[in-house]
A and B are shown apart, each in its own frame.
Chain A
């Protein structure tokens, strides 16, 4: 009966086959963060004359104290799935989430100046988002022309299922909110790197900030690759190896990777506090953009929060020009 019971238990194994494991690259990057372990000298049965049981007890007490300290600091081994925790931390529940980023443009090849600030409002449950980007101002705007009288340009983008609204105060179009049907989502259908891989976007400019983090997480493309010390704080480092790509225009088009993304996550709040975009098309894969999270808050679900997601409600004096014809992300 006993043997039979064990055999039946073995037959009820909930994971009967050995699962696949990740390629060792991520693990190797994790251990590269670790100091090389010193070679240990063989020890006798007693060290410093202390009996092994007492020594083990002392060590256990010290390790427990260290564990408490480390856990209290929030910088232990992950303990939780860091990517999932950050996703949860950026979920506003039934309200709207507001985040402010300052982005430094490190790629000198374009003419957008050295930095811009952006404010983002998202309601993931409704699939709605609005982003306001302020370029220039006192930060050395180098947009070619026409220059805005105040030295800064505001650009806004609001998305909701099936629609994109845009507005900017640059030039003569500043009295109009353009409303477009949007049929091609950023995932662009079957643009995938393989089974289970992330759908790929066409432009790094299309999504940033919290929204980008949440999309990469939901596409399961973020991996914990280690930790990084920034301004004295040890942050979790998540990476999406190819976050953006386009199809080449040649016959038998292939996917061309454009950019990877690195997110640094605060171990205490699990908020993604730094977002980096890394060019995969330039030699040496330089960081082209780095965004710092400056503030973050959840807004209650009410009419005022709702209105933050709609451009026409934020700019009631403007006319709305609806373009009924669907456009894609091309």
Chain B
């Protein structure tokens, strides 16, 4: 029972952050089911949770999303039908101010996007982001440095363009 209580506390504490992570990368209609899937995995491996569980949970969420996308590709026809017949997926709302930034982000590689998003949107430190991505902290720092630079260049290019129209598509790199 004590385990169950700890689990529910963990869900209450980190569930919103996991859901926000998923909402940035998947249609809102899937979010609750995917969050549930993440925490079912968490329950299975509850004894393995690190002291700081959020990066671990986001890592699971990342894999759950990747599985969901693979399933999506395997059943394109089914999803086409879902798209036709169910509530349309909620698109990420890019504010006018953020449009250029989101367009610039889209120009980067998936791994750069994921790392930058973990730092800027999920609020993780480079060490925590490394935990999510399964890489070493030193590697994460180097990649972050380069990704920031590339984002700056992409942003400058976007600002030079007469108009930018962006739609965000966050996809975790394999």
Binding site for B on A (CB under 8 A): 1-2, 5-15, 18-22, 24, 26-28, 30-31, 34, 37, 39-40, 67, 71, 76-82, 84-85, 87-89, 91, 93, 217, 224, 270
Task: Determine if B78 and A85 form an interchain contact, defined as CB atoms under 8 angstroms apart.
Answer: yes
Q: Do the beta carbons of A78 and B85 come within 8 Å of each other?
A: no
Contact with A along B135-146 (1 / 0, CB 8 A): 000000000010
B interface residue numbers (CB < 8 A to A): 4, 7-8, 11-12, 15-17, 19-20, 23-24, 29-33, 35-37, 39-40, 43-48, 64, 67-68, 70-72, 74-75, 78-79, 81-82, 84-87, 92-95, 97-98, 101-102, 105, 116-117, 119-121, 145, 148-149, 151-152, 155, 168
Secondary structure class of chain B's binding surface, majority of residues: helix
Q: Which residues of B contact A224 (CB under 8 A)?
A: 33, 36
- What is the minimal beta-carbon distance from B15 to any residue of chain A, in angstroms? 4
Query: Beyond A71-B74, A81-B29, A88-B81, is A5–B43 a contact (Cβ under 8 Å)?
Result: no
The contact of B37 among A13, A20, A78, by CB within 8 Å, is A78
Q: Give complex CA distance A270, B155 in Å.
A: 44
Contact of A88 (CB < 8 Å), options: B46, B82, B95: B82
Contact of A1 among B35, B93, B152 (CB under 8 A): B152
Contacts of B15 in A (CB 8 A): 21
Give the docked Cα–Cα distance between A2 and B8 (Å). 39
5 new A-B contacts at CB < 8 Å, known A6-B120, A79-B70, A88-B84: A19-B20, A80-B68, A84-B30, A88-B81, A270-B78
The answer to whether A18 touches B72, judged by C-beta atoms less than 8 angstroms apart, is: no
3 nearest interchain CB pairs? Answer: A12-B98, A14-B92, A79-B71
Bound complex: CA A87 to CA B78 (Å): 10
- Min CB gap B42→A, angstroms: 9
CB within 8 A of A12: which of B37, B46, B68, B97? B97
In whole angstroms, what is the CA distance A30 to B94 when docked?
Answer: 35
CA distance A79 to B151 in the complex (A): 32
User: Which chain B residues border A30 with CB–CB below 8 Å?
Assistant: 36, 40
